[in-house]
Amino acid sequence: QEWPRTTYPAYLSGWLYITNPATALRLVEQAQQTPFFWIDDTWVTGILREKLNISMQHLNAWYSANAEFMDCCVRDLKSQSSYECEYFVGPNGGDNKMLVEFLHNVEKCYFDECSKRPPEKSLKKTCVGSAKHLLPDHGSGQVKQVAL
């Protein structure tokens, strides 16, 4: 039997967890005493967290899973309205320059040089993404016959 209960403990699913060093250390120590479970999100933020009685706080509104929203944040920060981004973190869609530009422009908000985004200008309502064809940073593919 893979899991003894009918449901998994509550867990965080995603590519980002935010914690402090003391909690991270507690999770590491508990992991050394707890049998590994193959679903990593369930194991770390569900099973280990539950054993340590650590509470969770959902921060879904802080991040976007869409690189297009991050592009729109850069566009809006550079525009005349200079709206602050709704998100603190998100993927770069393979565009490393966009990430640097995002961080550079977010500094404007730190120095109060941007405007609070009005609800009617939410990225979910106004962002129009575009397809990008990014070249790899290094290397090149080779196609050749191989004798088997």
Residue 77 near residue 84 (C-beta atoms within 8 A): yes
Within a domain: 144:
no
Residues 77 and 44 in one domain: no
The predicted model scores a pTM of 0.57
Looking at residues 43-60, what average pLDDT do you find? 92
Share of the chain above pLDDT 90, in %: 30
Residues 90 and 76 in one domain: yes
What is the DSSP code (8-state) at residue 8?
A: P
> Bigger pLDDT: 81 or 138?
81
Within a domain: 40:
yes
Residue 9's pLDDT is what? Answer: 94
Enclosing domain of residue 4: 1-58
The answer for residues whose C-beta is within 8 angstroms of residue 63's C-beta and 6 or more apart is 16, 87, 88, 89, 90
Within a domain: 2:
yes
Q: How confident is the model at residue 140 (pLDDT cuts 50, 70, 90)?
A: low
